[in-house]
Structure formats: structure tokens, C-alpha cells
Amino acid sequence: MAYIDLTQTFTESMPVYPGDAPATLKRMAAVEHDGYENHTVQSGMHVGTHLDAPRHMIAGGKRITDLQPERFFGSGYLLDVRGREVIDADLLESVTLPTQAMLLLWTGYDSHFRLPDYYAAHPVCTEAFAEALVDLGVQLLGMDTPSPDREPFAVHKLLLGHEILIVENLTNLESLVFAEHFELMALPMKFEAEGAFVRVIAQID
């Protein structure tokens, strides 16, 4: 059995969505000087690998604290969409997903994570693709990009309106390419908020 970490490391300087406040991780005390080590974090919730709950885009939608723990575990499926700037429903035509699948989109775009174009040039999903996920009963969509769409965020709203959770800024998805089956764990911190940092782990038998 192997465990694969699909989470971007939160470091001192993190890329943030244009217009958001900078995210920082600062060491406030060091063992060598103070006898203990301590850090402080200042960040919005949508930085690094994080999970969007319905409240992020849906008025009256559930926050992280409203979601039951079983929502964060499930059977994973990796969809190779490398080379596609637009991810459309045709990619699902020959796919058989497990029940209540946690679908991961492997674009390879995580290689841009700290580059200037990261938030400007990422692949996007169509509304038809999102509607197909609703029809298929998917419970979570994860991707190695900063978002499944751009403004006005129709895909976000469609997915979250059907309580399909969204995980953004994944990495290391290539490690799953030869896994015939894997279980996914996406455990967010328990903030009373619309989103939270999440540690995403794939378990391969």
C-alpha cells in the first residue's frame, strides 16, 4: 500500500489570485534562539491546495463546518486531459466512474504554479462538462490548476449548486497514472468558512 501526497507545500511566499491579499508564512521564534519554534500564517482560504465548499459561490450554501466527514473520502479517478485548453463533456464519453467518484483532472499545469501566467492561462472546463459531472453523481472535482473556470464562474456555481466540492491547486497527479484504483482523502481544516486549506492524499493498494 502506498500513500501519494497531491498537495502543494505552503511556503513563505505563496501565489494568490490577482487582487487577493498576499499570503505569508513567517517564523516568529526559533529553537536556536528562543528554545522553541513558532510560525504565523496570514492568508485567504483560497491559496495553495484548498477545498471550495458550496458557500463560496452559493448564497445559503454549506460551509466547511456543515460538511460531514464522509464527504472528504471516496474512490478516485484520474482523467488525463493534458494538452486540452478546454475540457469538455466529450472526454467523459468512454469513462466509467466509480459511484460518487472523486474525479481528478490531470492537466500538467501545476508546473506553472509559481509562474506569472498561472492564473491567466490555465485550462478551463465547459458548463457541459460540469453538467455531465452532475449527471454522473460525482461528489468532488479536483484539478492541478487554480480553477475549473474564469469569471463569471458559471462552472463553479453549477458544481457548488449541486454540492459537488471543488479542490484546486493539486500537484503530483502524474504519480497516479499507473494506478488502476485509488482511494482519495481530501481533509480540509475545520474552519467556519466557505473554503479551507486541504491535505489531499491518494491511497494506492
Task: Tell me the per-residue pLDDT of 52-97, one tens digit each, with 9 for 90 and over.
Answer: 999 999 999 999 999 999 999 999 999 999 999 999 999 999 899 9
Going by pLDDT thresholds of 50, 70 and 90, the confidence category of residue 180 is confident
Rounded CA gap, 105 and 81, in Å?
6
* Across 175-182, average pLDDT: 94
Mean pLDDT of the chain: 97
pLDDT digits (tens, 9 = 90+) for 122-133: 999 999 999 999
- Looking only at the bridges linking them, the beta strands covering 195-204 and 182-188 are antiparallel
pLDDT of residue 136: 97
Residue 18 within a domain: no
Q: Which bin fits 163, alpha (ψ -120 to 50), beta or left (φ > 0)?
A: left
- Residue-level length of the chain: 205
How many CB atoms are closer than 10 A to CB 24?
14
Kindly calculate the radius of gyration of the chain based on its CA atoms and give it in whole angstroms. 17
- Structural domain count of the chain: 1
Rounded CA gap, 55 and 57, in Å?
5
* 156 pLDDT higher than 90: yes
pLDDT digits (tens, 9 = 90+) for 10-49: 998 899 999 999 999 999 999 999 999 999 999 999 999 9
* 205 pLDDT higher than 90: no
pLDDT of residue 13: 85
Residue with cell string 486549506: 197
Residue 78 within a domain: yes
Residue 49 within a domain: yes
% of the chain at pLDDT higher than 70: 100
Residue 146 within a domain: yes
Cβ-based neighbours of 1, under 8 Å, separated by 6 or more: 203, 204, 205
Q: Is the peptide bond before 152 cis (omega within 30 degrees of 0)?
A: yes
Going by pLDDT thresholds of 50, 70 and 90, the confidence category of residue 116 is very high
Contact 194, 64 (CB under 8 A): yes
pLDDT of residue 150: 97
Residue 38 within a domain: no
Residue 16 within a domain: no
pLDDT of residue 75: 98
pLDDT of residue 23: 96
* Domain span at 53: 2-6+45-204
Could you write out the DSSP letters of every residue in 6-37? -BPPP-SEE---TTSPPEEEEEEE-HHHHSS-
DSSP 170: B
Residue 19 within a domain: no
Nearest to 131 by CA among 151, 155, 149, 153: 155
Residue 30 within a domain: no
Helix H or strand E segment including 129: helix 127-136
Rounded CA gap, 168 and 110, in Å?
10
CATH number of the domain to which 169 belongs: 3.50.30.50
pLDDT of residue 50: 98
